[in-house]
Amino acid sequence: MVNGFFLGNELIALAAVDSGVKSAYAYPGTPSSEILLAFSKFAPERYAQWSLNEKIALELAAGEAISGSSTLCCMKMVGLNVAADPLFSVAYTGVDGAMVLVSADDPGPYSSQTEQDSRMYAVSAKMPVLDPCNPQDAYRLTMLGYQISEKYRLPVMVRPVMRVCHSRQNFEAGDVSKEPIHGQFSKNTPRWAATPKFRRILHEKLNKNLDLLAAEMAPKIPEKRYDMAVVASGYAYAMAKDVINEMNLPFDMIKVDMPFPLDKQFVIEAEMVYDRIVVLEETFPVIEHNFTIKTVGRLTGLVPSEGELTVDIIADILFKTAGMTRKTDKAEITTSETPVQLKPRLCAGCGHRPAFYAMKLAAPSGIFPGDIGCYTLGVNLDAVDTCICMGASVTFAEAMKRSNPDRPVICTIGDSTFFHTGVAGLTNAVVNSAPIVVAILDNETTAMTGFQPVPHKTGKLTIEQACQGAGVRHIAKVDPYNLKKGVEALKQALAYAHTDNSPAVVIFTKECVTKTRYKNKKIAEITDACTDCTICYEKFECPAIYRDKAKRMAKIDETACVGCMVCIQVCPQKAIGVKK
């Protein structure tokens, strides 16, 4: 028996274990990262893998599920973009065992490029999707997902949002855990290797299964108390339920566990019973599209089309629909003690900071395409000009150099992101003779999402070998704390790229400072030679240095300084040294 105070992500993992999952695959990304770690904690004897990217993770999970095993695949919603290709095909072929795909969404967004809704992929791919409203519900619906997958031989998506993933609830599970479900592959060419002719047959079978499933999972219409109802799914349901109960609003509540496929008969009956229906869901109108003119929501402009739904927003929506006036508390008064909202910055001593600074020194007029990771914060140093998606820095560098032939182009990409989707872009740049410099920021971990392992720390492959395999002939490796060598390496790489008309790579390697900040710590010290030129705390943006307004000079915050001593190299007045 398992009991405790668990994250939603942990309960998703526990449900997978209890459902007999044999293998779990994932690529880290907030808010989904804790699922695979929890799976390994609950079932250390079972197989868990951090895959190189989400496409690979989904294909591995599907490959085992096609062989009759039970599998789990986890990612965040933008990772689902990477996995979209196999997603659509696996929905058609189905599985012989069971497979649940967890795609965690980030309404807000708080740590993502977009507010996209994974359920839209489920609708387009024709994959059943379940929408939990809290951590306990995440456990229940993940268990249900495996039951549906086993019964209908379909992959099933579970779509928790950030608030569900990272909320905690007390939970006690009975003795329900299954033994891992193993299987053996059975040849079935018309299904597993279907040509277009057989794909049409698979599609027809899928549609029939979805109709049967929709009827089986039809939401229950409660005994009518009011003329208005809220139809909601996921975390929006949990908030709406609290608002209605606490504020005594005249709405019946209908919970939708499975937004797709949604039973048509349920929609017809709901519209016959109620005069007005409010649909609440995160973040696109997946459920709402099934209803007609009696319904209000995003399609009518009542529900905002961007941003996370909150209790206040939902309360305003329901009060407005009910024709009632909502009394609100006075706005919070800001005082001198109100905490200042600071922008996110790279950690003190982060090796990425001097790498970015070296880029600015080596190419003052350069263009700097960036990528996804903590190093996106290089934008604060004016050393990240674009940020699109995983791996796009390399491909954008090639394209932008083609459009800006007279300007140097240096792109940045992290070590994990390089293996995720950067290698293919680098190969393309080599094949197409792109005179760019690729700066690989190697902090030897996947730092932003919880220090998941990276391929080159296994001892089986190095970043240099991957670059050589892609055809790169100029590769330099430097310690970013040595600013002079970093600038020299970048200038040499730029010269080579221009002369040879091909990409050059500079690898800046420094272990993530959050792992080393208390090892052999030294403290920097600023002397009276400081002229307050602002370079150390503004242009270099070290968070351990600030301006002493009284003395009109820079000052070291000794509690934040980690002793990287790069500031000594940055200071033009030689006013910084090692504290004795």
pTM: 0.91
10 Å CB burial of residue 316 (0-12, 13-18, 19+) is middle
Same-domain pairing of 209 and 232: no
Q: Both tokens of residue 569?
A: 């190299």
Which pLDDT does position 519 carry in this prediction?
A: 61
Check whether residue 493 and residue 544 sit in a common domain: no
Q: Is residue 52 part of a domain?
A: yes
Residues 394 and 489 occupy one common structural domain: yes
Enumerate residues 6+ apart whose C-beta is below 8 A from 86.
55, 58, 59, 62
Q: Which residues contact residue 340 at a Cβ distance below 8 angstroms, ignoring those fewer than 6 apart?
A: none
* 379 and 475 housed in the same domain: yes
Where is the domain boundary, 196, 216, 236?
216
Assigned domain for 292 exists: yes
Query: Does 570 map to a domain?
Result: yes
Domain co-membership, 44 together with 189: yes
- pLDDT value at position 523? 87
> What is the predicted pLDDT for the residue at 346?
94
Domain boundary among 461, 493, 515: 515
Tell me if 332 is assigned to some domain: no
Q: Are residues 7 and 97 in the same domain?
A: yes
- Residue 337 is assigned to a structural domain of this protein: no
Alpha helices (H) along 113-258: 118-125, 135-152, 162-165, 189-192, 196-216, 234-247
Residue (of 57, 69, 83) closest to 16 by Cα position: 69
Instruction: Tell me the CA distances in angstroms from 125 to 57, 84, 119, 241, one per residue in order.
Output: 18, 9, 10, 31
Q: Bridge-partner residues for 524, per DSSP?
A: 578
Q: Where are the beta strands (DSSP E) in 207-305?
A: 228-232, 252-255, 276-280, 295-296
pLDDT in tens, the chain (580 residues): 678 999 999 999 999 999 999 999 999 999 999 999 999 999 999 999 999 999 999 999 999 999 999 999 999 999 999 999 999 999 999 999 999 999 999 999 998 999 999 999 999 999 999 999 999 999 999 999 999 999 999 999 999 999 999 999 999 877 767 788 888 899 999 999 988 989 999 999 999 999 999 999 999 999 999 999 999 999 999 999 999 999 999 999 999 999 999 999 999 999 999 999 999 999 999 999 999 878 999 999 999 999 999 999 999 999 999 999 988 765 555 665 666 667 889 999 999 999 999 999 999 999 999 999 999 999 999 999 999 999 999 999 999 999 999 999 999 999 999 999 999 999 999 999 999 999 999 999 998 888 899 999 999 999 999 999 999 999 999 999 999 999 999 999 999 999 999 999 999 999 999 877 666 678 899 999 999 999 999 999 999 999 999 999 999 998 889 889 999 999 999 999 998 8
CATH of the domain at 357: 3.40.50.970
What pLDDT was estimated at residue 339?
A: 63
Helix H or strand E segment including 398? helix 392-403
User: Do residues 188 and 237 share a domain?
Assistant: no
Q: How many CB atoms lie within 10 A of CB 118?
A: 29
Alpha carbon 460 to its chain's center: 27
| The pLDDT of residue 568 | 95
Strand partners, 578: 524
Instruction: Give residue 469's domain range.
Output: 352-515
Task: Give the list of residues 6+ apart from residue 508 with CB closer than 8 angstroms, or none.
Answer: 351, 352, 355, 439, 440, 441, 442, 478, 479, 480, 486
Examine residue 328 and state whether it is found in any structural domain, yes or no: no
Kindly state whether residues 46 and 83 are assigned to the same domain.
yes
Q: How many CA atoms lie within 13 A of 434 on its CB side?
A: 28
Show Cβ contacts of residue 320 under 8 Å, excluding neighbours closer than 6 positions: 302
Residue 221 lies in a domain: no
- Of 174, 193, 216, which residue constitutes the final position of a domain? 216
List, as one string, the DSSP characters of 471-487. Answer: T--EEEEE-TT-HHHHH
Beta strands 2-7; 23-26: pairing state: unpaired
If asked whether residues 511 and 522 sit together in one domain, one would say no
- Three-state secondary structure call for residue 132: coil
Q: Residue 62 has what pLDDT? A: 97
What's the one-letter identity of residue 364?
Answer: P
| 77 and 170 within one domain | yes
What would the two tokens of residue 56 be?
């690979």
- Provide φ and ψ at 36, rounded to 5°: -65, -40
Are 314 and 298 in contact by the 8 Å Cβ rule? The answer is no
> Do the Cβ atoms of 286 and 259 come closer than 8 Å?
yes
| One domain for residues 480 and 555 | no
The 3-state DSSP class for residue 157 equals strand
Q: What is the CATH number for 524?
A: 3.30.70.20
pLDDT of residue 3: 85
Cα–Cα separations (whole angstroms), residue 490 to 161, 327, 487, 496: 42, 61, 5, 10
Give the closest residue to 436 by CA, choosing from 485, 496, 387, 484.
496
Q: 191: left (phi > 0), else alpha (psi -120 to 50), else beta?
A: alpha
Query: Based on the domain organization, do 307 and 412 belong to the same domain?
Result: no
How many folded domains does the chain comprise? 4
Query: Which one, of 148, 151, 167, 8, lies nearest residue 74 by Cα?
Result: 8
Helices then strands, counting H and E runs in the chain, come out as 21, 20
Inside any domain, residue 486: yes
Q: What is the pLDDT of residues 216-253, one digit of tens each?
A: 999 999 999 999 999 999 999 999 999 999 999 999 99
Q: What angle do CA 418, 421, 424 make, to 5 degrees?
A: 95
